[in-house]
């Protein structure tokens, strides 16, 4: 597996300031620290800025991103954490639920790079987290940056989907057959 080469997209460049929130669970502190280093380097390499918050576990990461989206002003998010298989089915729940929640937030339009590692051993996590090896923190930041770039490219092109009206409130209420008082 170590000999497999992966294609990496060129880093996007931004004409306007870009700010990301790194949401990390430091449950496995050294793994999380390596992932954060990789994410920060990737974000700074794109001339973007970042803030960092720590959350107790992987399940809380999507909730923190959802809260931030409602209450703060970030262009994108980097979700970082690590789940290592244990003796119970809790591993399966945490992996599936955190991933699914991040996916649902993404489908709502949030630009999220998912860097929550799901591994069998701490050694696997260390290899994936290390910025000089697999650099999954940097990869998650790159994913978020690419999604931001796509969102900005297409963000000003509205589509006529759903209910849109050009009528003012009085015209709308009279056409609907009722009036407001």
Q: What are the structure tokens assigned to 90, written together?
A: 């809790």
Q: Are 51 and 22 in contact (CB under 8 A)?
A: yes
24 beta partners: 54, 80
Q: Which residue has the tokens 């650099």?
A: 135
From 135, 128, 141, select the one nearest 84 (Cα to Cα): 128
Cα distances (angstroms) measured from residue 53 to each of 12, 30, 45, 77, 135: 24, 16, 20, 11, 20
d(CA 35, CA 60) in angstroms, rounded, equals 17
d(CA 14, CA 93) in angstroms, rounded, equals 37
Catalytically annotated residues: 90
Q: What are the structure tokens assigned to 58, written together?
A: 């992987």
d(CA 145, CA 77) in angstroms, rounded, equals 9
Query: How does DSSP classify residue 168?
Result: -
């Amino acid at each position: 597996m170590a000999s497999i080469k992966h294609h990496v997209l060129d880093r996007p460049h931004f004409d306007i300031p870009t700010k990301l929130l790194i949401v990390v669970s430091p449950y496995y502190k050294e793994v999380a620290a390596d992932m954060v280093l990789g994410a920060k380097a990737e974000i700074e390499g794109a001339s973007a800025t970042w803030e960092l918050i720590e959350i107790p576990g992987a399940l809380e990461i999507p909730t923190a991103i959802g809260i931030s989206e409602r209450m703060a002003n970030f262009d994108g998010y980097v979700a970082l954490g690590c789940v290592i298989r244990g003796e119970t089915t809790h591993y399966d729940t945490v992996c599936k639920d955190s991933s699914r929640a991040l996916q649902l937030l993404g489908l709502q339009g949030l630009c999220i790079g998912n860097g929550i590692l799901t591994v069998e051993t701490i050694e696997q996590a260390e290899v994936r987290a290390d910025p000089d090896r697999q650099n999954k923190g940097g990869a998650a930041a790159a994913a978020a940056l690419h999604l931001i770039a796509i969102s900005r490219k297409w963000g000003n092109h509205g589509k006529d989907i759903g209910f849109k009206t050009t009528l003012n409130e009085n015209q709308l209420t009279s056409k609907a057959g009722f009036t407001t008082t």
